[in-house]
Chains A and B, each alone.
Chain A
Amino acid sequence: MFNNLSDKFEGALRTLSGKASISEANVREAMEEVREALLEADVHYEVAETFCKKVTEQATGAAVLKAVEPGQQMIKIVNDQLVDLLGEPAELDPETGAPIPVDPIMQVSPGPTVIMMSGLQGSGKTTTCGKLATYLKKRGQSVMLCAADLQRPAAVTQLRVLAEQVQAEGDGTGTVHFHGEEEKCAEYGKAVGVAVEVCRNAVKAAKAAKVDVLILDTAGRLHINDELMDELRRVNAAVAPHQIFLVIDAMTGQDAVNSAKAFNDRLELDGVVLTKFDSDTRGGAALSVKSVTGKPIRFIGTGEKLDALEPFHADRIAGRILGMGDVVSLVEKAQEQVSEEEALALQEKLEKGTLTMDDFLKQLKQLRKMGSMKSLLGMLPGIGKQIKDIDLDDKQIDRTEAIINSMTGKERKDVDLLDNSRRRRIAKGAGRDQKDVSQLVKGFEMISQMSQMMSGKGAMQKLSAMKNMAGGPMGGPRVKGSTKAQKANKYKKRKRK
């Protein structure tokens, strides 16, 4: 997502960034390229025009043209305008200067907070309901999902199955309830208006069950279908939801603004959920919708799994578009998987050189929970562009896991035990070559060695230690007889004594 767009941005801005001085003509030329890139990325025509006009106006101002580094100044302007286009800039804590987190779902007390989901057919409303339930359950809240789509065949069943699935498999202490009235389903056009009653009943049920949040999953409808749009208005009037979300497919073209505007005119939306964000769409809909409706994007759907829903951060996405990475999200993902105590315990083990294969296996599992390697690496500054065409194979982790799983408990605790015969057995067990086992062991040893070297040294020494390691602990060229690894073993053994 966004890769192509960020390529274009980088290209257009690179021509400017090195220059000691830039002229108005330079800026206009770069902005023409940017405009075309935006249109190719499905940004709405008017939005693209306005964006380029604003940037050009600011960039051709005296302050920029005479600045010491006009290119950098220009990048800052584009970044600020992108953030502005995508959402409001995050409010900063006056003391720490850190952005104050905004809760994407404003909740009322006493509950239940009623959320109504709306959108076109196939935008992903029902799946998003399941994801929201997962998100809330993880945060210890009780949720009720209400099937207000009585039109699409089996939509009620789909939501019920999702509710059961989240309750059974979702992380966290929250609970998931379901309200559905399957017997009221009817063929297309024959159950219009029934949703009003179902939603009313759901509110009663949600109050009785004392849930924190009630989510209404309405049927997909075209914004130009007056009868069905009126049904939404009636649901709105009957249950007065606290939040109305519009679900939009991130791959939508120029028409995204038309439908978003129509839904917003009828319902006064509170926020937008963008789905299918994990596709290779250039994401123009994301850039257009906020500026046309004025409503913030609250969440993005980033995968098939039910936990693939993330709060939306305009500043971070702007960084990704400009190829500046999104380290904040990466760190947050890591924090979600690893608690502070775990991290400290691991650090201690690393410093003492007592890291075992079991610890290593655990790390791999946590890493995988954070998402695909490609999506994780894509968040690092300057990396996204380089890996966009590379087919990163997550199976590598599977293979490594299989090898470790084929080791005995003893072997995992002490890799020194691994002689040729054991390595052969492990390779056979994991269905890999013996050299794969050796490579893993070598890499593992180098990691322990490096971490020991790094602990208790000054910053400069740490840096040079890291430099020595570069060239690869995992999969670098194998030195015959692996003398390095043997030395490392001796070193480690000495230290243990």
Chain B
Amino acid sequence: MALFKKAFQKLTGALGKTREGSVKTLRTILTGKPLSAALLHDLERAMIEADIGVKTAIELRKDIQAGWERGEIADGDAALLFLKDQLTAYYPEEDRGLNFADDGPTVILVAGINGAGKTTSIAKLCKTLRDQNKSVLLAACDTFRAAAVEQLEVWSGRLGVDVIKGQQGGDPAAVAFDAAAAAVARGVDVLIIDTAGRLQTQKPLMDQLSKIRRVTEKQIPGAPHEVILVIDATTGQNGVNQAKVFSEAIDVTGLFLTKLDGSARGGIVIAIREAIAVPVKFVGLGETPDDVQPFDPPTFVEAMFAE
């Protein structure tokens, strides 16, 4: 439980920093107050401001309103409990850990839009796996952005793992192909593939991503075993489009929610969950490789409501 506690403190601590002034939180809005039309309005607003999405926020508000009218929900505290139950239920008891290969190297493909935090998140995954005594190999498939390979190399140096890289401007699928071959030849436990950031609206770049997935599969049957989409917690409703389009292209198996140490609540993952069935697997809470936690729905929801 120590892990849970640390995550919670970090989450609530970070979120607490912006809770001054006029910023109303769900908890301050609801606790110790009888329900009223005005309170329900404030509640809807707070949920919208957490990026949960207008539709979901209105639905949840209506649910509470109905419960109130039926006499099942009497006050703010009961409403809060109801909300927590509802939101936690979005994330049922399913495996939130990484999928590993039965034998041979496990391949993790990491993708996301520009600036979401892919490379930093890979450093975090790498550290977590190294701490579990697993050998890791990295593939630098961002051959487009200036110094992206160097950025990954700095991390590999710090974390003591090797990087397979190609030519700047070269075909990223070729790098992935070589890396998969190297992973098999060296008998490493996990291969993590870093890809260039791309907007989901760039069709040719999304096709390129599908190709990276295909060549990996060709080299190692069953790969990639895990396809992680990195989502920035500050993302607005566009996150839903990101999740949909990336899933179509590479069949995403999990989300890595980054930058949750800012003032954004990351409610977008709830909007995403409404749209497609992809679980959140990790949350990023800082810039060092240690700033990562497994996603824990009750903690997350609690932090979203925290004062």
Q: Which residues of A contact B (CB under 8 A)?
A: 36, 39-42, 45, 120-124, 127, 130, 151-155, 157-162, 165, 187-189, 222-224, 249, 251-256, 258-259, 275-276, 278-282, 284-285, 304, 391
Q: Does B275 contact A (CB under 8 A)?
A: no
Shortest distance in angstroms between A94's beta carbon and chain B's nearest beta carbon?
41
Q: Taking A153-B151, A254-B49, A259-B263 as contacts, is the C-beta distance between A122 and B236 under 8 angstroms? A: no
In whole angstroms, what is the CA distance A255 to B261 when docked?
Answer: 13
**Residue of chain B at shortest CB distance from A257:** B49
Q: Does B237 contact A (CB under 8 A)?
A: yes
Q: Does B300 contact A (CB under 8 A)?
A: no
Number of interface residues of B (CB under 8 A): 53
Could you tell me if A222 and B48 are in contact, using CB atoms closer than 8 angstroms?
no
Partner of A188, one of B50, B202, B232, B287: B287
Could you tell me if A276 and B114 are in contact, using CB atoms closer than 8 angstroms?
yes
Chain B 33-64 near chain A by CB (<8 Å), digits 1 or 0:
00000000000010011110111000000000
**Residue of chain B at shortest CB distance from A130:** B146
Could you tell me if B259 and A42 are in contact, using CB atoms closer than 8 angstroms?
no
Q: Does B66 contact A (CB under 8 A)?
A: no
Could you tell me if B263 and A258 are in contact, using CB atoms closer than 8 angstroms?
yes
**Residue of chain A at shortest CB distance from B118:** A122
**Residue of chain A at shortest CB distance from B23:** A258
In whole angstroms, what is the CA distance A337 to B287 when docked?
Answer: 43
**Residue of chain B at shortest CB distance from A157:** B147
B-side contacts of A304, CB under 8 Å: 144, 202
In whole angstroms, what is the CA distance A34 to B287 when docked?
Answer: 39
Shortest distance in angstroms between B190's beta carbon and chain A's nearest beta carbon?
21
Could you tell me if A280 and B241 are in contact, using CB atoms closer than 8 angstroms?
yes
Could you tell me if B234 and A259 are in contact, using CB atoms closer than 8 angstroms?
yes
A-side contacts of B263, CB under 8 Å: 222-224, 255, 258-259
**Residue of chain B at shortest CB distance from A247:** B115
In whole angstroms, what is the CA distance A120 to B234 when docked?
Answer: 10
A-side contacts of B148, CB under 8 Å: 154, 158
Cβ contacts A to B, 25 pairs, < 8 Å: A40-B237, A120-B262, A122-B232, A130-B146, A151-B287, A153-B150, A153-B155, A154-B148, A154-B150, A154-B151, A154-B154, A157-B146, A158-B146, A161-B146, A187-B158, A189-B288, A222-B262, A224-B262, A249-B115, A253-B51, A253-B268, A256-B236, A278-B201, A279-B238, A304-B144
Could you tell me if A45 and B45 are in contact, using CB atoms closer than 8 angstroms?
yes
Most buried by A among B115, B147, B265: B115
Q: Taking A45-B45, A45-B49, A251-B113 as contacts, is the C-beta distance between A36 and B54 under 8 angstroms? A: yes
Could you tell me if A254 and B238 are in contact, using CB atoms closer than 8 angstroms?
no
Q: Which residues 250-293 in B have Cβ within 8 Å of A in the complex?
A: 259, 261-265, 267-268, 286-288
In whole angstroms, what is the CA distance A284 to B48 when docked?
Answer: 13
Could you tell me if B54 and A278 are in contact, using CB atoms closer than 8 angstroms?
no
Partner of A253, one of B45, B150, B237, B286: B237
Shortest distance in angstroms between B203's beta carbon and chain A's nearest beta carbon?
7
Q: Taking A188-B287, A279-B199, A280-B200 as contacts, is the C-beta distance between A158 and B145 under 8 angstroms? A: yes
A-side contacts of B267, CB under 8 Å: 253
In whole angstroms, what is the CA distance A222 to B262 when docked?
Answer: 6
A-side contacts of B55, CB under 8 Å: 40
Q: Does B105 contact A (CB under 8 A)?
A: no
A-side contacts of B236, CB under 8 Å: 42, 251-254, 256, 281, 284-285
Q: Does B161 contact A (CB under 8 A)?
A: no
A-side contacts of B117, CB under 8 Å: 121-122
B-side contacts of A157, CB under 8 Å: 146-147, 150
In whole angstroms, what is the CA distance A280 to B153 when docked?
Answer: 32
